[in-house]
Structure 1
């Protein structure tokens, strides 16, 4: 019989389908959840060898309807993918790091049993992070939409092409720009592509977005931090002779044409991420970015 102290009875597992390291950790996680008496749903694209009589296969799209908690085994990319699917169901996520940086997946593979037991029993810190929702319009008709946990990137789609566009925030004109594109980032994404582009690190506790120009034609163009509840519009200039792209988390791409309008706003629902009680955001920054340690 399952322990009465368990807070999450229905647990989903998502992860990298073709990662041997992730598969090894998923097997350990699976066995531990069985011992805890949990009902387990497994992402159906994971290797057949990971499925058992204790698991029920389901798609990423359906996972959020069935479970109380999702454990993501992989890197930050796996968490970004899971977040876009699960945010609408308000299902909390906890990440086990089998990737590289691990800003979002902060449970070490060697601590799976200990940390997951703690989470199951309510010993965790919950962090609500907002994500972006974008829609693309052509001749006033919506042609595409997606969500982004980290960032939305407007880029030319071709090497050595300059992109022309106009930026509006809350219906106010900000600037016209010729550049390699624009990064619109959440605080979660401020340590990712936006950081590489020269943007600031934004604490996840701050309700803000950052707009980072990519190699602008004028050196006076600089990153802007704005209120997260702002509505952003990017108008692709009809002067462009090529077809740019907009990318969400580097995983979902929408093709654009001259004259298209990109609308970006805060998603109405938060992404719920659970951390071990020992989680320290600034310790993560020190470790991942190589900052100096305490003397």
Structure 2
């Protein structure tokens, strides 16, 4: 894999992003690569000295996209660039950084090393889904992290009938249900007490959100089937339900609506520096390497 053209995409809401982006652009140019700046990034950071490109143009021209921001920025770029198979590398300018794993202070050195061929490639799956009412598709989208069905506003619990490839799995009454990829297992699913899935697993995770019955537990299923969730009832007549495809939301679901979710046709390629370890990321972000302090006092 050789990178002739490298695109820069930044979380343009952040202040002070222009200086590190400009530094990365200079590193890319010094390595003999052409630099593209994503259009909104350029508009909001003032990086006008390099060619500006839309996501569509980046998909056609770029060999690598460098994402500077938080995991949300990486999610958006992944959805936009997955069909064109442009690999992504993430520079953490946010808080957690599970998938934007390169620290900002190492960004220049790491990127220079990656451009010269020192990298590993990791493939991540996405989900695609649609919301169906009768014979009409109301909304469709893709997600790198998860598809989440939850109650809207202050409405009561929602009831869902869950099927896999037409086979009945269970019905649940809960605040919602998370359908997560292995990538998304360290996001909302983790906070709802779901397990962590290694990115190389070919699986999809279902995690109930505050279920009425404690017997409703998370379950991992193969990523080769079609999941169908039918809203059978809402807690209140006037309440509704929402479905979130990462950061894309449809907020007007009603009883009888069906949400179909399957593994997407496209995957996303993440570029990591040599020596990257998923377990090292977990140790840092979840503080697994910290031993509890033992008290000198005895009870």
Normalising by the residue count of structure 2, what TM-score does the alignment of the two structures yield? 0.91
Verify: 1:169 aligned to 2:164, yes or no. Answer: yes
- From 9, 12, 15, give the equivalent of 1:17: 12
Instruction: Select which of 276, 279, 282 maps to 1:282.
Output: 279
User: Per-residue deviation at 1:263?
Assistant: 0.6
Q: Residues 50 and 239 (structure 1 numbering): CA distance in 2 closer, same or farther, change over 3 Å?
A: closer
Deviations 1:174-209 (A, max 9, x none): 111111010000010111100000100111111111
Shift of residue 248 of structure 1? 1.4
For 1:233 and 1:247, the matched residues in 2 are separated by 15
Query: Does the CA-based 8 Å contact 2:223-2:263 persist in structure 1?
Result: yes
Aligned to 2:59: 64
Matching residue within 252, 255, 258 for 2:248: 252
Task: Report the Cα offset of residue 217 of structure 1.
Answer: 1.2
Matched, 1:95 2:90: yes
Give distance in 2, aligned partners of 1:219 and 1:70: 44
Determine if contact 1:21/1:98 at 8 Å carries over to the other structure.
no
Unaligned runs of 5+ in 2: 292-299
Residue 179 (structure 1) aligned to one of 170, 174, 178: 174
Corresponding residue to 1:52 among 42, 48, 51: 48
CA–CA distance in structure 1, aligned partners of residues 267 and 124 of structure 2: 6
The range that moved more, 30-39 or 162-171, is 30-39
Per-residue deviation, residues 77-105 of structure 1 (Å, max 9, x unmatched): 11011001011111100001101111111
Question: Which residue does 1:207 correspond to in 2?
Answer: 202
Structure (1 or 2) with the greater strand fraction: 2
- Normalised by the size of structure 1, how large is the TM-score? 0.93
Q: Which residue of 2 aligns with 1:142?
A: 137
Q: Secondary structure at the match of 1:267?
A: strand
RMSD, matched Cα = 1.7
Query: Alignment partner of 2:189: what SS?
Result: helix
Q: 2: distance between equivalents of 1:62 and 1:141? A: 32
Give the corresponding residue for 1:3.
none
- Mean Cα deviation higher: 72-81 or 238-247: 238-247
Moved more, 202-211 or 152-161: 152-161
CA distance in 1, matches of 2:164, 2:218: 14
Which moved further from structure 2: 254-263 or 72-81? 254-263
Give the CA deviation at 1:112: 2.0
CA distance in 2 between partners of 1:228 and 1:50 (Å): 42
Q: Counterpart in 2 of 1:78?
A: 73
Aligned length: 287
2:112 maps to 117
